[in-house]
Structure 1
Amino acid sequence: MGVPEKRKAESPLSDAAASPKPAAPGPSSPGPKENSPTHASSSPRSEGRSPTPAPDSPAPELPGVMSGAHWLQQGLPETDTDDKDSTLGSDVESSTASISSSILNYRTINGRTYHSDSVTDGEYWAPNDQKMLGALEIYYHSLFLMTDKQLFQAPLKDNIQHAIDIGTGEGFWAIDFADKFPYCDVVGTDISPIQPTWTPPNLRFEIDDATKEWTFKKNFFDYIHISFLNGAIEDWGNLYKNAYRCCKPGGWIEHFDCSPIVSCDDETLPPDSALATYGKILDEAGRRIGRSLTIAHDGTQEPGLKEAGFVNLHTKQWKQPLSPWPKDPKQKEIGLYTYAAVTSDLEGVIQFLFHKVMGWSTEEVAVFAAHMRQEMKEQKIHGYWTWKVVYGQKPEDAE
């Protein structure tokens, strides 16, 4: 994806680093991560963790939500022949092709793989293969633009010594942060070994599951960064308490996450559209696996961090356009990168949650994805996702 200019010229992920061990058969998914969030190869496994439940057969329909059978009945969408819409579609496809050629020309698609179940007890919904990593790289750049190219919001001092990125995924943020703070020791943790080998000398990656007891030193980190862990954490309160224990007095924690619920401010989002259905299905899937996928709408961050002991809390929110529909040039660019990222691997994002958790057939998932891509391409729906960051500080006098 469009990351800072210096990384575009860097060498691609090595085959060894980019080809993690496939998970047990089955589809996948925020935790993502996407890129998955946490890891802990050294700590013991927690007991009693139940696997992802098998979907009911047939899967019960949700009130007001179009089912998989509905989308299968619609068939694949036809290309819109309206001149105006065709022009819009042509423009977005041309721009997307330009992004792909300049940023993703070194990527290869090896096949769908997920994290190894030897690392964590729970199943993460996002693939960890090259196709998903390519989409995440573009997505990272969309977020980079959305936040005005700010890697963090907390008021960090230039002389911080230790920082950690929980759920680092492909490691793009951790690499940029380590470059910005060359004298700070930076650690990035994840449940999949999908990070590049070309990293700044002050950065190291570790396979670790953050949902388990943290083994890092008490009062150690000046800054703890948590990002995009939708669908990865069962007990946010426990994670925040681990972070508080390992955070240095006066140090900062920052949690940046989103909600897949599509919002719209001008009534262009039909309730029976694929985009309206998307977030509702993911919300229900998160409930079924016991790991919320709607963090930015749940009100989880502020009270959880406060209960853990953090003070001086601050909150900020952003709107991420789903396609280049905005008239504002900056928002249009953000929407273009979001569109490019999501449509390049939409099946990878939804197949685990829609198919394995919600019980949709493979054909239903494919047809739904086609309709959602078509809606994003046409740009008639002015939808966006909400992102929220909450950052806070461990009291200076904390023991």
Structure 2
Amino acid sequence: MTDQRVGSKSPAQATSPDGGAGSPPNDLIPGENEDVRDDGDSSLGTDAESSTASMSASILEYRQIQGRTFHSDRFTVDYAFPNDQKQLESVDITHHYLTLLFGNRLFLAPIADDVQQVLDAGTGSGIWAIDFADQYPGAEVIGTDLSPCQPKWVPPNVRFEIDDVTESWTWDDGKFDFIHLRYLFGAIKDWTALYKEAFRCCAPGGWVESAEANIQFRSDDGTADLAPVLDLCTRLYDEGGQAIGRPFFMDHLQPKGFKEAGFTDIKTMDYKVPIGGWAKDPNLAEVGRFVRLTLENDIEGYTLALWNHVLGWPKDEYQIFLMDIRKALRNREIHSYFTVRVVYGRKPE
């Protein structure tokens, strides 16, 4: 696999051929002038009332926290992000910037063109499953999530079901040709157990892909130090993840979990993801503008439960925290980024 460095005209990735942890590339270069225009996604929008799965009324008894809705207690009280419209909009924008980051690709694993059975575990708004089903009309795509928050109108070859990926999977051994896992950080207690379930349900010769962000804000030129609130945000996720037993910083667990599960041909790609349109490379600048839009759209949803209800930090300081985060996101002098790690592997024939 070709190693394509961040800052070039190609998608930003660094590959570790042995499946180990590839070091993030170091040439994410700031441009002279940031294009500060914000971009939206006209496809935003979901319908929280639809699902092909059989539902009991308890599934729709969402928890209410300060006007935001979270997944039903039927499954977990520990998942820290909401499932309402505001959060789902950010999920859809995230899907867009990741697609751009990956070179207008929905995935990186070398799956077969005639892939038949596909699982998107933890599908969220369902946007990845829908796009994949459109791109592969011959495949049957299943998306699972804790809440029935996916849209009503979907391609005929995709369906959504209620399920918790942290429990034992109900699928038969070897059912799926491709299993897609993305942005489950903060939701999983045992990553190795998750990958072992994916291995069991993957067909021989099939592929599993896991894409996770390390949401520690950093910079190569030290400009992240201009906003101490970024370090506070890292502390929020570190201590919050420990408190709920579901780590937010787990990219180091991906290659290890894949190996322990039994996968072969494991590949690891690391990406630097700019926050804001400061990158010199135009594609990365575009990615960065959508990243900033994602965070600005619902920074409250990403932090509310952890700050106020998990860690119990001073509530009178929370609004100041939100204000400082927004200032940092809009500060053109701060060249901050986080990293995304993609790991995929094949189940032996």
Same topology, TM > 0.5: yes
Q: Is residue 227 from structure 1 mapped to residue 182 from structure 2 by the alignment?
A: yes
* One-letter amino acid of the structure 2 residue matched with residue 303 of structure 1: K
Percent of residue pairs identical: 42
Question: Residues of 1 paired with 2:124 and 2:227: CA distance?
Answer: 33
Larger gyration radius, structure 1 or structure 2: 1
Q: What SS does the aligned partner of 2:97 have?
A: helix
Q: Is the 8 A contact 1:17 1:194 kept in 2?
A: yes
Question: Residues of 2 paired with 1:152 and 1:334: CA distance?
Answer: 16
- Residue by residue over 1:98-122, the C-alpha shift from the partner in whole angstroms, topping out at 9 and shown as x without a partner, is xxxxxxxxxxxxx51111111x134
Q: Is the 8 A contact 1:168 1:188 kept in 2?
A: yes
For structure 1, list consecutive stretches of 5 or more residues without a partner in the other structure.
28-110
Q: What SS does the aligned partner of 2:289 have?
A: helix
Q: CA RMSD in A?
A: 1.9
- The structural deviation recorded for 1:208 is 0.2
Q: Is residue 350 from structure 1 mapped to residue 303 from structure 2 by the alignment?
A: yes
Residues 106-117 of structure 1 aligned to structure 2 (within 5 Å): 111-117=67-73
Question: Residues of 1 paired with 2:79 and 2:48: CA distance?
Answer: 22
Partner of 1:44: none
Pairs aligned (count): 304
Q: Is the 8 A contact 1:164 1:186 kept in 2?
A: yes
Residues 1-399 of structure 1 aligned to structure 2 (within 5 Å): 8=42, 12-14=45-47, 16-17=49-50, 21-26=60-65, 111-118=67-74, 120-270=75-225, 273-296=228-251, 299-396=252-349
Q: Is the 8 A contact 1:21 1:113 kept in 2?
A: no
- Residue by residue over 1:155-174, the C-alpha shift from the partner in whole angstroms, topping out at 9 and shown as x without a partner, is 01111110100100001111
Question: Residues of 2 paired with 1:15 and 1:262: CA distance?
Answer: 32
Q: What SS does the aligned partner of 2:240 have?
A: helix
Question: Residues of 2 paired with 1:25 and 1:203: CA distance?
Answer: 30
Question: Residues of 2 paired with 1:293 and 1:262: CA distance?
Answer: 13
Question: Residues of 2 paired with 1:392 and 1:15: CA distance?
Answer: 33
* One-letter amino acid of the structure 2 residue matched with residue 341 of structure 1: T
- Residue by residue over 1:21-49, the C-alpha shift from the partner in whole angstroms, topping out at 9 and shown as x without a partner, is 3533447xxxxxxxxxxxxxxxxxxxxxx
Q: What SS does the aligned partner of 1:16 have?
A: coil
* One-letter amino acid of the structure 1 residue matched with residue 325 of structure 2: M
Q: TM-score, normalised by structure 1?
A: 0.73
- The structural deviation recorded for 1:295 is 2.0
Question: Residues of 2 paired with 1:22 and 1:318: CA distance?
Answer: 38
For structure 2, list consecutive stretches of 5 or more residues without a partner in the other structure.
1-38, 52-58
* One-letter amino acid of the structure 1 residue matched with residue 192 of structure 2: G
Question: Residues of 1 paired with 2:63 and 2:330: CA distance?
Answer: 34
Question: Residues of 1 paired with 2:281 and 2:76: CA distance?
Answer: 45
Relative to 1, partners in 2 of residues 1:243 and 1:122: Cα closer, same or farther, differing over 3 Å? Answer: farther
Question: Residues of 1 paired with 2:324 and 2:114: CA distance?
Answer: 50
Question: Residues of 1 paired with 2:209 and 2:118: CA distance?
Answer: 11
Partner of 2:8: none
Question: Residues of 1 paired with 2:92 and 2:198: CA distance?
Answer: 27
Q: Is the 8 A contact 2:48 2:150 kept in 1?
A: no
* One-letter amino acid of the structure 2 residue matched with residue 124 of structure 1: Y
Between structures 1 and 2, the one with greater strand share: 2
Q: Is the 8 A contact 2:207 2:344 kept in 1?
A: yes
Q: Is the 8 A contact 1:320 1:334 kept in 2?
A: yes
Q: TM-score, normalised by structure 2?
A: 0.83
Relative to 1, partners in 2 of residues 1:363 and 1:21: Cα closer, same or farther, differing over 3 Å? Answer: farther
Question: Residues of 2 paired with 1:131 and 1:17: CA distance?
Answer: 17
Partner of 1:94: none
Partner of 1:36: none
Question: Residues of 2 paired with 1:315 and 1:16: CA distance?
Answer: 37
Question: Residues of 2 paired with 1:381 and 1:355: CA distance?
Answer: 28
Q: What SS does the aligned partner of 1:295 have?
A: coil
Question: Residues of 1 paired with 2:83 and 2:347: CA distance?
Answer: 33
